[in-house]
Amino acid sequence: MLGRIWSLVWKEALQLWRYKLVLIFVLVFPVWNLWSVANMVSQGIMHIPTAICDEDHSQASRRLATILDNSRGFEVAYQVSSRAELEQLLKYGTVKVGLVIPPNFESDAQENGASVQVLLDGSETTTALVAQAYLEGLAFEYIRWLLGISPAQAAALDQLAQNEPRVRVWFNEELRREVFQLPAEMAGGVAILAVLLPAVTIIREREAGTLEQLLVAPMRSVELITGKSLLTLLITLLVFGETLALNVLYFRIPLRGSLALLVVLTGYYIFIEMGWGLLISAVARTQGQGFVGAFVVVILEVILSGQVLPVEYMPWLAQAASYLMPNRHYNTIVRGIMLKGYTLGDLWPEVVILGLIGVMLYALVLHRLRKGLE
C-alpha cells in the first residue's frame, strides 16, 4: 500500500516539475500577495489631496491651513480664491477634500466660535471617511491652539484632559491594521493552493487520458486520494512556512501560542480544504473549468470567512453558509493562536466542525470516484 502511494506521489512531483509556470505560481504568488497587502494596509491612506479657499486671510486661518498641511493625512495642493474654483477641483477629482474658511473667521473663533465648511468627495467613500476622521483629530489640535490665547480657556482644557478615560488595548496594543489582516491573508493563500492544486492535477490526468488508467489500477480509492493529496499537502505546508516566517520575522506579527500546534492544525486544515479541490476535479471536465471552480470556491470562502465583512453583520443565510467554509474556522484558529495564545482546549469547537466538513467533502469525493470506477 505504501509503495503504491509513494509511486503516485513521485509521479505527481515529476509532473509538477515539468510545469514550471505552475510551480513558480505556487511558490511565489502567496508570498507576493502577502507582501502587497502588508504594504497596502501598513501605509493606510495618507497625503489626501486638499484645496483651501481662505476668505479670511487672518493669522487664525493661516494657522489652520498650516496644521492641515503639516499633518500626514493631508497635502494642501491648492490655495484657491473662490468657492467655484474649489468646487471644480472636487468635481474633476483633482482634490478629495476642500475647506472653505469664511470671512471674519478669526474674530468669530475668539468670541462665540467659528465654523469651517468641509467638502468631501463622496465618490471614494473610504477616503472620505478617513479624511473625516483625520479632520476631527486636527480640529481638536486647532482648538487647543486657539485656547492658548485665553488663559481661562486653557485652564478649562487642562481640567478636561485630567478626566480623559484610560484605554488599554489587548492583543494588538498598537492597533496596527496588518496584525489583523495579514494572518487572514496567509490563511487565504493556503486555501488557494489547497483547493487549486488537487483540482488541476486530477483534471490534467483526465485531459491526458491517464485518469482512466488510474481508476482501473490495482489500488483502492483511499490510496488514490492519499497519493494525489500528499504532494499538495507538503507544498502547501512549505508555502505556509514561507508566509508565516514573513509575517513573524519581517512584519512583526506576534506568535503568542504554540508554533507546533499551529503547524499541526494547518496540516489538518489543508487536508480538509483539499476536499473541495478533489470534489471540483470530480465534476469539472477541463482545466479551465477547474480553475474557475477553484477560484469561485476560494472567493466565497474569503467573503464568508469574515475577512471582508464580519460574519455577525451578514444576513442570516450567509452566516449559516459560512459554517460550511473551512476558511472561516481556520481564520479563528490562526488569529487565536497567533494573537491570543489559544491552546487546543480553546479551539476544539473549530477542530470538530472542520472534521465534520472534511467527512462530508471526502464522502462526496469517494462517491464520485466509485461512480467513475463503475
24-59 core/surface letters (b: 16 or more CB in 10 A; e: else) = eebeeebbebbbebbeebeeeeeebbbbbbbebebe
Residue-number span of the structural domain to which 76 is assigned: 45-162
Judged by average pLDDT, the poorest of 12-26, 39-53, 269-283 is 12-26
- Inform me whether the pLDDT recorded for 166 exceeds 80: no
Average pLDDT over residues 93-112: 84
26 and 94 belong to one structural domain: no
Residue 228 lies in a domain: yes
Q: Which of 26-30, 117-121, 259-263, 297-301 has the lowest mean pLDDT?
A: 26-30
In tens, the pLDDT along 287-327 reads: 788 888 888 998 899 888 887 777 888 888 988 899 999 99
Helix axes 326-340 and 344-373, enclosed angle (nearest 10) = 150
Per the model's pLDDT, the better-predicted residue between 33 and 260 turns out to be 260
In a domain, 171, yes or no: no
Q: What is the pLDDT of residue 207?
A: 67
In a domain, 167, yes or no: no
CA distance 32 to 62: 44
Per-residue pLDDT tens for 226-270? 766 788 888 899 999 999 999 999 889 999 999 999 999 999 999
13 and 139 assigned to the same domain: no
With respect to residue 168, please indicate whether it lies within any of the assigned structural domains. no
If you average pLDDT over residues 5-13, what whole number do you get? 66
Whole-number pLDDT of residue 114: 72
Which H or E element spans position 35?
helix 20-43
Query: Do residues 57 and 86 share a domain?
Result: yes
**Cα distances (Å, whole numbers) of residue 167 to 78, 134, 161:** 38, 20, 14
pLDDT at 224: 66
What are phi and psi for residue 119, nearest 5 degrees?
A: -115, 125
Q: What is the pLDDT of residue 187?
A: 92
pLDDT at 345 over 60: yes
Say whether pLDDT at 5 is over 70.
no
Average pLDDT over residues 86-103: 90
| Residue 249 in domain | yes
Cα angle 47, 49, 54; round to 5: 115
pLDDT of 181: 86
The percentage of the chain sitting over the pLDDT mark of 70, rounded to a whole number, equals 78
Angstrom distances, CA of residue 148 to CA of 2, 51, 341:
80, 27, 47
CATH of the domain at 80: 3.40.1710.10
Report the distance separating Cα 72 and Cα 134, nearest Å.
Answer: 9
Q: Which residues of 216-253 are buried (b: 16+ CB within 10 A; e: fewer)?
A: eeebebebbbbbbbbbbbebbbebbebbbebbeeebeb
**DSSP per residue, 93-152:** TS-SEEEEE-TTHHHHHHHT----EEEE-TTSHHHHHHHHHHHHHHHHHHHHHHHTT-HH
Answering whether pTM is above 0.85, one says: no
Q: Do 31 and 61 fall within a single domain? A: no
Average of per-residue pLDDT values in the chain: 81
Three-state DSSP class for 291?
Answer: helix
d(CA 66, CA 7): 71
- 245 or 125: whose pLDDT is higher? 245
Residue 214 has pLDDT above 70, yes or no: no
- What pLDDT shows up at residue 272? 93
Could you give phi then psi for residue 72, rounded to 5 degrees? -75, -20
Indicate whether 214 and 358 sit together in one domain.
yes
Clarify whether residues 114 and 222 are in a common domain: no
pLDDT in tens, 36-92: 877 776 666 788 999 999 988 888 888 888 888 888 889 888 999 888 999 899 988
pLDDT for the residue numbered 336:
93
3-state DSSP percent of the chain in helix, strand and coil, to 5: 70, 5, 20
Q: How much is the pLDDT for 93?
A: 87
User: Do residues 57 and 156 share a domain?
Assistant: yes
Q: Which of 168, 145, 196, 191 is nearest to 23 (CA)?
A: 196
Does 81 or 152 have the greater pLDDT score?
81
Residue 269 pLDDT: 96
